[in-house]
Amino acid sequence: MDRPRMERQRVECDRPWDGVGYSRAIRVGNVIEVAGTSATLRDGTVLHPNDVGQQTRVCLTTIVNAIEQLGGTAADVVRTRFFLTDISRWEESGAVHREFFGDVLPTSSMVEITRLLHPDLVVEIEATAILDPS
């Protein structure tokens, strides 16, 4: 039996790989999921090569922007996921995360990975936000 599909709002990726089958962010009901986000410009240029803190700042700015486009705020973030190419530098990402979310204190995971799409990328971040249903 087919059931009605919940309405989806989406924010496009707006990067060179847009159109390969994913969105920057999707809102379904009161849940917003933000895809893996890196410090990359529309033309593929990597910002702040090998700088964990600055790349984290760019990622989180892009993430919060997407959440705002879908009706949320940074205060609605309940989970973040960090993918770092060098886990020993986690504190650099953590400090910027604290700047963005302060007392919100979303749950968070940090995972070390071998590499990202470009050798100058050192961090990629995903997020989940849940909005007040009212």
Q: What is the pLDDT of residue 114?
A: 97
Mean pLDDT, residues 56-79 = 97
Range 8-130: architecture per CATH: 2-Layer Sandwich (3.30)
Q: Residue 19, Cβ neighbours under 10 Å: how many? A: 9
**Residue 20: band (very low, low, confident or very high) from pLDDT cuts 50, 70, 90:** low
How many Å separate Cα 51 from the centre of its chain?
A: 17
Amino acid at 26: I
Which tens digit of pLDDT belongs to each residue from 85-120?
999 999 999 999 999 999 999 999 999 999 998 999
Where are the chain's structural domains?
Answer: 8-130
**Residue 37: band (very low, low, confident or very high) from pLDDT cuts 50, 70, 90:** very high
